[in-house]
Amino acid sequence: MEYKTREYPMFSACGLNCGLCPRHHTDGTSKCPGCSGEGFSKVHPACGVLSCCQRRGLEYCCFCGEFPCKKYNGADLSDSFITHKNQLTDFEKVKNSGLSAYKTGLNEKIGILRYLLENYDDGRRKSFFCLAVNLMDLQTLKRIICDLSSRLKQEVPIKIKADGASRLFQETADKMNISLKLRKKVKDKVKV
């Protein structure tokens, strides 16, 4: 199915932060342009949520009178390439603070993620940084970036910078009781 290109593909119709997804920050053929961004149908030929939104003339599910519908049953219990953990709470932020304010905060987070990937990724930390930036609040992220900038100078080898950044994120996450691991879907056991 061809989808109408969305004005802001960094925040998906279903409430995922596409701009913080590892597939958005790759150079390979699996690069995702974000929710219904240019070329979206090539990497995601079918999306029931996006189809539903576009049929109803909506940009985001949270503006539907039937939200949350059955498509959201258990949606925040497991992850794909990106965490689904805050999917519903992020929609609450949109409803409470407005879409413009949410986009502003997400754009700041995307900028922080790009900075991390350019300066602290040794080729093995992309998913980790994507998850950390997605799950942590903006103030915490800004504090971590400030700490990193003062602790790890540019001339330090990338492996040391990556290890130091990962350690600082993990320590902060542990203090905040945030798990920095994607959650796999639990398969139902079939009784015989």
Indicate if the pLDDT at residue 106 is higher than 80: yes
Question: Of the candidates 64, 97, 130, which is a domain's last residue?
Answer: 97
pLDDT confidence of residue 152:
66
* Residue 79 belongs to some domain of the structure: yes
Question: Of the candidates 63, 97, 131, which is a domain's last residue?
Answer: 97
* Residue 153 belongs to some domain of the structure: yes
pLDDT confidence of residue 191:
53
Question: Of the candidates 75, 97, 119, which is a domain's last residue?
Answer: 97
Number of neighbouring beta carbons within 10 Å of residue 140? 17
Mean pLDDT, range 150-176, rounded to an integer: 89
Q: Are residues 109 and 160 in the same domain?
A: yes
| Percent of the chain topping pLDDT 90 | 66
Question: Rounded to two decimals, what is the model's pTM?
Answer: 0.90
Q: How far apart are CA 59 and CA 6, in angstroms?
A: 8
Q: Are residues 136 and 67 in the same domain?
A: no
**Both tokens of residue 183?**
């959650």
Indicate if the pLDDT at residue 186 is higher than 70: no
Read off the pLDDT of residues 4-22 as tens digits, 9 standing for 90 and up: 888 999 999 999 999 999 9
Mean pLDDT, range 163-170, rounded to an integer: 95
Phi-psi region of 176 (alpha: psi -120 to 50; beta: other; left: phi over 0): alpha
Number of structural domains the chain divides into: 2
More confident site: 185 or 90: 90
Place of tokens 């970036």: 145
pLDDT confidence of residue 122:
94
Indicate if the pLDDT at residue 190 is higher than 70: no
